[in-house]
Amino acid sequence: MKRIVALGLLGVGGSRVVRIVVLGVLVALGTSGCRVMQHISDGAYRNAVADGTVDDLRARGITLRARPECEFPVRAGGQTLTIRCTARAADGAPVTVTGRASRVDQSDPLEEYVVTVGNRVVLRQDCLGLGCVHRNH
């Protein structure tokens, strides 16, 4: 059952809320000894953050040269997950996404994403993507 949940998240794009993917990542991280599940869920979360960033920036008139590349710079374990993505805007300006989710083992994780273009913060919100409903705004 857990595998079906994680596999279903692979298709998550910008039209879905990143929060759903955080929960999917938790299912895999909570399953000890299941590296395949963690890999699938990590990939789903990276895809959702990248796609959500593209959609949110596009909605603000900012286009990217390519889809953001994301990684998990800190494996805090337990209840915290961090992600960092980088890309270039069409004009060559660097784009950076930093995200942090806490209480990830609960049904209502707290998330924050900050997106900068050049040296300017263009987004600071608790979810990414076109279907995002902001909790803290």
Higher local confidence (pLDDT), 38 or 118: 118
Highest averaged pLDDT of the listed ranges 10-14, 34-38, 68-72: 68-72
What distance in Å separates the CA atoms of residue 97 and residue 112, rounded to the nearest whole number?
Answer: 10
The answer to whether the predicted template modeling score (pTM) of the entire model surpasses 0.75 is no
Higher local confidence (pLDDT), 13 or 136: 136
Mean pLDDT, rounded, of the chain:
76
Tell me: the pLDDT tens digits for 54-112?
A: 999 999 999 999 999 999 877 656 678 899 999 999 999 999 999 998 887 778 888 99
Around Cβ 22, how many Cβ atoms within 10 Å?
25
3-state secondary structure of 62: coil
In this predicted structure, the answer to whether residue 47 has a pLDDT above a threshold of 80 is yes
pLDDT for the residue numbered 20: 45
Residues in the chain: 137
